[in-house]
Amino acid sequence: MSTTQTPHIALFPSAGMGHLMPLLRLSAMLAKRNCIITVITAHPTVSAAESDHISSFLHRNPEINHLKLHLTRGSLIADSAAADPFFLQFHLINQSIHLLRPLLSSSSPPFSALFVDMFLVARTAPIAKDLHLPVYVVSTTSIEFISLMAYLPNLQLKLTEFNNASAEIKIPGLLPMAMSSFPPAFLDPNHLFTSIIIMNSQALSEAEGILMNTFEWFQASTLDTLNKERVMTSLPPILPLGPLEPYHIPPDGDHHYRSWLENQPSDSVVYISFGSRTAMSRDQVRELEKGLEKAGWRFCWNLKTSKVDKDDSEDVKDILSDFFVERTMNKGVILRGWADQQEILAHPAIGGFVSHCGWNSVMEAAWQGVPVLAWPQHGDQRLNAKVVEDAGFGLWERKWDWGVDGIVKGEEIERKIVELMTDEKLREGAKKVREEARKAVESGGSSDRVIRDVINSLTLPF
């Protein structure tokens, strides 16, 4: 008679909340399905939000084990002082990766698999292979962006020719992509972000599969072509198991936004957030003030003016103009520091979401059925914005520049916010997405089946 063994899975996130949150969510989902889970995190973290979340998550999920990988300050890159601290952290983790082997090999019970962030697969896959551990990549982005990542080495030599607003490229299995949607950093092969992407793109095929925070209905035809027809040999199967379930951390303290939201009518508030690591410039803040005031809708604005939260200490009074504060005092609430976005989006008062389209935010909006005004700022966000638009629950004004390249004027913002809050078709589209997202995760739904299959594949008879 053969018995089965409980899988012991190591999950290894990279840097930044946009990478940590989905890996922690996945850890909790797997633990709930009776897997033994060990989360491996790199220390020190870049942001305070990361260390706070790791501690509170582990405190509230005592069955989940934790191992720390202490970063060694090896050779820094040439202009490390100027580099994005999160990209630098990806680099530092990769440099310290030899420390992973003892963590993986000395575990009891032994590990059955490694689930690793897409930016760490190149250096971790050989270690896992040596230890006979299957590797799954955890994607923190859209299918579109990870496909571009897999295809990028083929494009390398041609990138400069594509530096043209109307140019498109055709990646097998996907709709044509506008070159203007590529992260500008891709035009520089020496950029830290580009080199990390290229290094890892070549290793994606080493994985058993890519665990993707999306769901079958949402991107059915793309998934079909990529998985059934296997048009991209550099991509292993894409396994859609989202929207990833948020873990519940009880509210800490009395955040004024909660009581404020309670007193607003349904669908009357526009929520504005550019994620965890996008700073808004002073000039853009001024224009957004104008846009919000003129649009006249109530607002909940998650305002960040530094890339790393520890540096974001300025008082609201010193950022916003007195004029805006006086005129809109009763119309809105400003959030500083960490606020629970999933909880905000779930509130019935929220009727629209002005979002940078980080992929976690996109899936959270899909889950809650909140229409999105896509305002991509950098990285994968334009490709993500297109997915939102195509799925029928978002607007995207393509003329708006990347965050660092230009300022969007108040009148433009006003126009789009009014459209976001009044477009009934969009609201219907968002409701449909919400309905389908919920079907996907329920017992027997498409995402639930995927996660069960992954676990079963690790449950070896002995």
Sheet holding 65-70, edge to edge: 65-70, 36-43, 8-12, 113-117, 135-138, 209-212, 238-240
By CB under 6 A, residue 17 contacts ligand UDP: yes
Please indicate whether residue 256 is annotated as part of the active site. Answer: no
Location of structure tokens 């939102």: 388
Among 198, 346, 407, 418, binds ligand UDP (CB under 6 A): 346
**Cα–Cα distance, 198 to 327 (Å, whole number):** 49
Beta strand residue intervals within 15-83, DSSP E: 36-43, 65-70
By CB under 6 A, residue 173 contacts ligand UDP: no
Show contacts with ligand UDP in window 353-412 (CB under 6 A). 358-361, 364, 367
Output 112 or 368, the one with its CB closest to ligand UDP: 368
Please indicate whether residue 53 is annotated as part of the active site. Answer: no
Output 328 or 368, the one with its CB closest to ligand UDP: 368
Q: What are the backbone dihedrals phi and psi of residue 273, each rounded to the nearest 5 degrees, phi first?
A: -155, 140
The per-residue b/e assignment along 403-428, b for 16 or more CB within 10 angstroms, e otherwise, is beeebbebebbbebbbbbbebeebbe
Catalytic-role residue among 8, 53, 91, 117: 117
Kindly indicate which of the ranges 5-13, 157-165, 238-246, 385-393 contains the residues binding ligand UDP, using the contact rule CB under 6 A.
Answer: 238-246
Kindly indicate which of the ranges 119-127, 271-279, 388-396, 397-405 contains the residues binding ligand UDP, using the contact rule CB under 6 A.
Answer: 271-279
How many Cβ atoms sit within 10 Å of the Cβ of residue 125? 21
- Residue, CB closest to ligand UDP: 18
Among 94, 112, 139, 276, binds ligand UDP (CB under 6 A): 276
Q: Between 286 and 315, how does the x/- string for binding to ligand UDP read (CB under 6 A)?
A: ----------------x-------------
What does the angle CA 186 – CA 386 – CA 220 come to, to the nearest 5 degrees? 110
Q: Which one, of 87, 313, 35, lies nearest residue 191 by Cα?
A: 87
Output 169 or 280, the one with its CB closest to ligand UDP: 280
**Cα–Cα distance, 43 to 45 (Å, whole number):** 5
H/E element, 77: none
CB of 437 to ligand UDP, least distance (A): 7
- Cβ(53)–Cβ(24) below 8 Å: yes
By CB under 6 A, residue 342 contacts ligand UDP: yes
Q: Which residues of the chain form contacts with ligand UDP (CB under 6 A)?
A: 16-18, 21, 243, 245-246, 275-278, 302, 338-342, 346, 358-361, 364, 367, 441
**Residues assigned a catalytic role:** 19, 117
